[in-house]
């Protein structure tokens, strides 16, 4: 039967509509694919591992009369998840002096974080949050092969605007920067990607979404000049800050370095005498492939795998030796006194205070300290005074509570270490101190023995 002209026109119109619809779908899919650039993919892959940090901190003028003469301000910064159990790397200055560190993840969950360890000299710190679910760890690259001119991406809590993304290039490498009278940095990456207050502690990414730096500083009064700590340098510090000797006071006796880029694993550089590693026959040149069933790609992975392992725990290590792979149990031991972490590569903490200040100090439980009814938040009790030391010359005696030095509170021994480690410490001498004795608050000036370190 012949098709009527009316029906034919109707069929043609329907076909045209179908073709138009398919064309739109094709154009839309094509447009979406074009929009999914490498930069977008890089940000999307890294975003779940980036956190925002908030909190109040005390600030004050260097000429303040006492630690209590400071004001509270809102601080902000950024951090990066480096272990699924909630360990986060950030800048020390982001969390320094913050009483309650609040961390917000990409899915808008907020946690209270604990400060695990820190290194004021390199301006890096490790904090930890407790999440019911494993967290997404950032993909870590290397800063060994960076090129001037390559594309980089900064992500952070810029001016409080969470997960702000900026793009730029590497402007220069190996920069030394003095950002203030008290803080300087060496061997930084310079970038023109916008880095603003609040970006500190966040990642600098390459176009693949790998973290190749930790954003750290801006040049005051300049535009398009920001800086980041190369990730290889930052991970060396993070490895020490997360080491089992610091966290759990356990010992394996291995000195390890990253293997060549073409080799998966970490290379044993040295095995310490009379150590657990020596007892099981590990030796220089062995390559560690896994620890406690966790694959090892860099030295940091070894320390991450050992976190929480107690003395006496047998930890399986898979090693490669002479092209042969074998698994052997490493039994961790308590850290000997001679190998306790030291500060400035010299004295252990207790000896350091005794040598430099002429004091032995212990923390005062908060409930006990509240009985003094003072405006200070805490302090360290003097348990002994060296007869010929700086403290004795100023009349400090057993039972006194050290509550401050210069403009800083001394609630914990870390506070005292921070003060002693400051690059500008020499300009503060003799350093003003504050003690609580009974119902009185007293002060004086210490000429400390820095040359004995």
> Tens digit of pLDDT for each residue in 34-48?
888 999 999 999 999
Active site includes 286?
no
Where exactly are the structural domains of the chain? Answer: 1-35, 47-243, 253-337, 349-452
* Catalytic annotation, pick one of 92, 93, 118, 252: 93
Lowest mean per-residue pLDDT among 68-72, 293-297, 320-324, 394-398: 68-72
Q: Name the β-bridge partners of 436.
A: 401, 441
Active site includes 123?
yes
How far, in Å, CA of 209 to CA of 148, rounded?
Answer: 18
Instruction: Provide the 8-state DSSP code for 451.
Output: G
Q: How does DSSP assign 266-313, residue by residue?
A: EEEEEE-TTSHHHHTT--TT-EEEEETTEE-SSHHHHHHHHTTPPTT-
The CATH class of 349-452 is mainly beta
Looking at residue 82, its pLDDT comes to 97
* Catalytic annotation, pick one of 49, 92, 123, 163: 123
Contact 396, 390 (CB under 8 A): no
Residue 5, pLDDT > 80, answer: no
Contact 296, 302 (CB under 8 A): yes
pLDDT digits (tens, 9 = 90+) for 300-353: 999 999 998 989 999 999 999 998 999 999 999 987 754 444 444 444 555 678
Instruction: Provide the 8-state DSSP code for 179.
Output: -
pLDDT digits (tens, 9 = 90+) for 391-424: 888 889 888 999 999 888 898 888 888 888 776 7
* Catalytic annotation, pick one of 49, 117, 200, 275: 200
Structure tokens at 52: 């925002």
Query: What is the CATH number that goes with domain 253-337?
Result: 2.30.42.10
Residue 238, pLDDT > 90, answer: yes
Strands 203-206 and 250-251: unpaired
Active site includes 93?
yes
Contact 53, 76 (CB under 8 A): yes
The CATH class of 47-243 is mainly beta
Instruction: Provide the 8-state DSSP code for 106.
Output: T
User: In CATH terms, are 47-243 and 253-337 the same topology?
Assistant: no
How far, in Å, CA of 28 to CA of 30, rounded?
Answer: 5
Structure tokens at 287: 């390559």
Q: Which residues contact 108 (CB under 8 A, 6 or more apart)?
A: none
């Amino acid at each position: 039967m012949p098709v009527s002209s009316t029906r034919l026109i109707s069929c043609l119109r329907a076909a045209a509509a179908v073709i138009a619809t398919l064309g739109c779908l094709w154009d839309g899919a094509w447009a979406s694919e074009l929009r999914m650039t490498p930069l977008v993919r890089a940000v999307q892959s890294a975003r779940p591992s980036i956190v925002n940090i908030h909190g109040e901190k005390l600030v004050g003028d260097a000429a303040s009369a006492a630690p209590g003469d400071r004001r509270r301000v809102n601080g902000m910064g950024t951090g990066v998840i480096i272990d699924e159990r909630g360990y986060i790397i950030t800048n020390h200055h982001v969390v320094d002096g913050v009483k309650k560190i609040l961390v917000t993840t990409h899915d808008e969950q907020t946690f209270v974080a604990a400060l695990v360890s820190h290194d004021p000299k390199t301006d890096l710190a490790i904090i930890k949050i407790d999440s019911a679910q494993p967290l997404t760890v950032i993909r870590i690259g290397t800063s060994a092969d960076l090129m001037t001119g390559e594309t980089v991406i900064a992500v952070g809590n810029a001016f409080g605007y969470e997960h702000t993304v900026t793009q730029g290039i590497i402007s220069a490498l190996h920069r030394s920067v003095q950002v203030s009278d008290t803080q300087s940095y060496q061997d930084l990456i310079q970038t023109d990607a916008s880095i603003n207050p609040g970006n500190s502690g966040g990642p600098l990414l390459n176009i693949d979404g790998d973290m190749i730096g930790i954003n750290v500083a801006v040049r005051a009064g300049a535009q398009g000049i920001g800086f980041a700590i190369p990730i290889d340098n930052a991970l060396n510090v993070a490895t020490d800050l997360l080491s089992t000797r610091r966290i759990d006071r356990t010992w394996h006796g291995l000195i390890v370095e990253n293997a060549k880029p073409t080799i998966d694993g970490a290379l044993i550089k040295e095995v310490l005498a009379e150590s657990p590693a020596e007892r099981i026959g590990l030796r220089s040149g062995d390559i560690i492939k896994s620890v406690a069933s966790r694959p090892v790609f860099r030295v940091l992975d070894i320390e991450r795998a050992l976190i929480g392992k107690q003395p006496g725990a047998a930890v399986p290590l898979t090693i490669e030796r002479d092209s042969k792979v074998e698994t052997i149990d490493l039994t961790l031991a308590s850290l000997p006194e001679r190998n306790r972490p030291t500060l400035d590569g010299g004295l252990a903490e207790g000896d350091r205070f005794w040598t430099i200040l002429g004091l032995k100090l212990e923390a005062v439980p908060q409930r006990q300290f509240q009985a003094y009814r003072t405006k200070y938040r805490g302090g360290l009790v003097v348990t002994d005074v060296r007869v010929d030391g700086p403290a004795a010359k100023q009349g400090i005696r057993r039972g006194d509570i050290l509550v401050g030095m210069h403009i800083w509170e001394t609630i914990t021994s870390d506070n005292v270490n921070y003060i002693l480690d400051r690059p500008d410490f020499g300009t503060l001498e003799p350093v003003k101190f504050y003690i609580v004795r009974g119902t009185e608050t007293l002060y004086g000036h210490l000429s400390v023995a820095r040359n004995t370190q």
